[in-house]
Amino acid sequence: MKTRSLIFGAFLAAFCLVAPPVPGARQGKIVWSDQEKPIAQRIGTLRSLPDDVRSRTTRELALQIRQLSAGSHKLTLANALANLSTEGDFGRDTLQEVTTTLADALRENPVPEEKGQPAAPYVELAELVRYEHMRASSDSPEFSAAMAKLESDDERRQHVDFTLADLQGKSWTLSELRGKVVIVNFWATWCPPCRKEMPDLDALYARFKDQGLVVLAISDEDPGKVRPFIAERRIAYPILLDPGRKVNDLFQVEGIPKTFVYDRDGKMVAQSIDMRTKTQLLEMLARAGLK
């Protein structure tokens, strides 16, 4: 499965001089220019920074990338930064600068489709526009195709139903939870942003469960990995297992963490493309009537 964490891992691999993770780029070793190398190094350390410093650094990097010469390396850097910029809340102004930089890089260095689907950087840009409500100027047919793909995916998700068992063997069926507010969260033990948002999810579950909140956290991993991880962290909300990734595929999940919120009528009213802070999760729950 392609995940946001794996995309970042691919970027780090590119920094170590292997093939860059940009569709259509020539495969082989990548050599950063003197201008590009310090930017790549700073992107590689973003997750280690406090949120306020990370926000400021992300904005600075977006502006620096925009000044680079056109080329696949510029797009690699812009896409990697965009991938990391949604891991929480670093400010809308910062996210807009990142979005503008990615749109500019794609305009200068368009990339072909991947197996008949829009290339990953176009989907990244479309997600920023559709789900983060950023502004992007693009007359590219590939961008239009990415926006259409997201709209189609969301339409399918509105009608998804599933039954999965949790770690205790209890079965949960989404359609049987009408009357509840439901969070469906896709995650994995190895995913740093997933781990970062779990305490907030657990705190919100404790706060709202008596008001009808249900959290269903879905992992496609082996239960032997999931059980000790959950026990160590004392997570109280249900952890569901998705062997074979059937439910992941139903939801068109191509990156984790990913969260969907359903209101008491069973309508999907909010979703995220990455980890959310407690404040952001509260905003999502408010759309389902929980405050």
Instruction: Reply yes or no: is the peptide bond before residue 23 cis, omega within 30 of 0.
Output: no
User: How many other C-beta atoms are found inside a 10 Å radius of the C-beta of residue 175?
Assistant: 10
CA distance 80 to 4: 10
**273: three-class secondary structure by DSSP:** coil
CA distance 183 to 285: 9
Burial annotation 52-77 (CB, 10 A radius, 16+ → b, else e) = eebbebbbebbebbeebeeebbbbbb
Residue showing tokens 């998804």: 160
Catalytic residues, which ones?
194
Which residues have a Cβ under 8 Å from the Cβ of 279 and sit 6 or more positions away? Answer: 89
